[in-house]
Chains A and B, each alone.
Chain A
Amino acid sequence: MRLSRLGVVGFRNLRDATMAVPLEGVAILGANAQGKTNLLEAIHYLEIFRSFRGVPDRQLVRFGEEGFRVSADLAPETPTGGEEEGTHDHGEAAKDSVAVVFRRDGGSKRVTLGGQPVERLADAIGSVGSVLFTPDDVRLVSDGPAERRRYLDILLSLNVSGYLDALQRFRHGLSQRNSALREGRPEREVRIWDEAIIGPGAQVMWTRAVWIRDRAQAFRSYYREISGGESARIHYAPGISGTAEWADRSAAAEDFRRSLRRTADRERSTGATVVGPQRDELRFFAESPHRSRDVRAYGSGGERRTAALALRLLEADTVRVGRGTEPILLLDDVFGELDEGRAGRVLELLERSVPGQVLITAPRESDLRLRREVLPRWFLRDGEVTV
């Protein structure tokens, strides 16, 4: 997919505007604090209907406004019949549009797809098909395991049907079960929640395990390419006893059931369920001929950034395979943080492997390194875009 039009009203410091987005993408230039990241945040909001910065919706509303609206028209990647820009049938274009309205008063969020309201947010998430790279991505590797579970949850909710539903049912069951444990209810009243977490919990773990297994090789080669020949692997450690070498989902369920039985005493004293996908961890190991090191604990800054970039590239692959469409690349000033060698190799990789539309921000013309020759420029100053 490509963005063909973007509208923002009342969002952060951005001036209310409707912008035609060039098919090849755009380079957004502007000094710090002018609103470059806000613009990418608005676009990405249409993907997951919350801020990628983890900010509550209310804080996205421009000071003094009642709420905000973000909307976009989406066009197919390759315009059919070689039509020129601007000759799109309007009826057709309107069919592929997504919009969200948030009102501060009451905190309501309304999403429409092709002008039709959707009943559940879950039906609308992932309709843009973008992948966002930010300088904060290194936290995917350096922060605690919750950050990586969040990454997996967003990614798999967007791309694997049934995942979000399983995750929500698991969380619901888990909070009931934990509540029973916390209140010191008799064992019989705790165990009745077991099946409520085992079924959906096993589905969550199985989906995560399969995703990682299927991409282990790609991770290795992205890592090698970005680092210039170093070796690292990705590893999924489920939050139950044993490894994730299940033959199928019911094997995962069986392991989960067994682990629950084994930890009955421990969870009683802790007052919470101590095994399950809420304890899953995603780990990275840098490998040298004689040993392997956990990148999160012992890796260098460069190694962590490399692992994080490889994760984002896997995400782009997942969008391409899962949705059969080239992802829209959103790059928020990511090259400033990388050393020269890595930055150059990432650029090469992106050029080659993610050929779709690109929206990239940079403080100055000289920092702009990707598709410099072909991208039109937008200049952002005090929240206002000029072409």
Chain B
Amino acid sequence: MSVIDEVVRHFGRLPGVGPKTATRLVHHLMKSPPEEGRRLARSILALVERIRPCSTCGNFSESERCAICSDPERDRSVICVVETAVDVRSIDGSGQFRGLYHVLGGRLSPLDGVGPEDLRVDELVQRIRGSEGEVREVILATNPSVEGEATAVYLEELVRSIGPRVTRLARGIPVGSDLEYVDHSTLAEALSGRREM
């Protein structure tokens, strides 16, 4: 296989990239100054060699503890539990949350053979216990899917028994959307979760 084909094949395996896009990317790189390709290669190399899970929260990290866990400005009394490290980026991007995170590494799904022992559940319990009362609230921010809900139910009971208050992300109508296009179950959730004005 030629070098070109090989790179096309690698790009083509990335999510959201089809064979056409992969070919276009490769052609772009070939037309660009060689330094551009080298920089890309170096950064990918750095990514795979240097990024690892944060020993505390499981988030992507370049060091033993991630930037969020080692930030002294962060509120240590709140932990937001998410399914994957990508969710950390989303929630932190909202700018509304200044606490810490805990990445489960998935959600409960007996059909896929995933039980609590396969997720970072014990680590969460240890973390809360180890904080000696400093953690006062745990926000369950698993996805609003069947599995995400069940995972939240599981964690709720567990966390509450150790002490902290447990909250769940609210569900409802997306900002900037139109009621006409919101599906029935989301509307039902939004109605039952309505609040006083």
Contacts and interface: CB of A to CB of B under 8 A. Distances in A.
Interface of A: 161-162, 165, 169, 172-173, 175-177, 179-180, 182-183, 185, 188-189, 192-193, 195-196
Q: In this complex, which of A161, A182, A193 has the most chain B Cβ atoms within 10 angstroms of its Cβ?
A: A193
B108 A189 contact: yes
A189 B147 contact: no
Contacts of A182: 110
A175 B146 CA distance: 11
8 contacts: A162-B184, A165-B184, A179-B111, A182-B110, A185-B110, A189-B116, A192-B108, A192-B154
Given A179-B111, A180-B110, A189 B154 contact: yes
B150 A192 contact: yes
Contacts, number: 46
A195 B151 CA distance: 12
B193 to A, nearest CB: 14
A172 B146 CA distance: 8
B185 A165 contact: yes
Secondary structure at chain A's binding surface: helix, strand, loop or mixed?
Answer: helix
Nearest to B149: A196
Contacts of B184: 161-162, 165
B153 interface: yes
B25 to A, nearest CB: 25
Cβ-closest 6 pairs across A and B: A179-B110, A180-B110, A192-B153, A192-B150, A192-B154, A179-B111
A188 B158 CA distance: 10
Given A161-B184, A192-B108, A176 B147 contact: yes
A183 B118 CA distance: 15
Given A172-B146, A183-B110, A196-B150, 5 more contacts: A176-B146, A176-B150, A188-B154, A188-B157, A196-B149
A193 B150 contact: yes
B131 interface: no
A180 B111 CA distance: 8
Interface string B114-150: 0110000000000000000000000000000011011
A189 to B, nearest CB: 7
A185 B149 contact: no
A188 B153 CA distance: 10
Contacts of A162: 184-185
Contact of B149 (A175, A177, A180, A195): A195
Nearest to B185: A165
B155 to A, nearest CB: 9
Nearest to A193: B150
B109 interface: yes
Interface string B83-121: 000000000000000000000000011110101100000
A30 to B, nearest CB: 44
Contacts of A161: 184
Contacts of A195: 149-150, 153
Given A161-B184, A189-B115, A189-B154, A173 B110 contact: no
Nearest to A196: B146
Contacts of A175: 111
A200 B183 CA distance: 15
Contacts of B149: 195-196
Given A165-B184, A169-B146, A176-B150, A185 B109 contact: no
Given A195-B149, A196-B146, A176 B157 contact: no
A180 B151 CA distance: 13
Contacts of B150: 173, 176, 192-193, 195-196
Contacts of B146: 169, 172-173, 176, 196
A175 B110 CA distance: 9
Contacts of A179: 110-111
Interface string B151-174: 101100100000000000000000
A176 B153 contact: no
Given A161-B184, A169-B146, A196-B149, A176 B154 contact: no
Contacts of A173: 146, 150
A98 B113 CA distance: 41
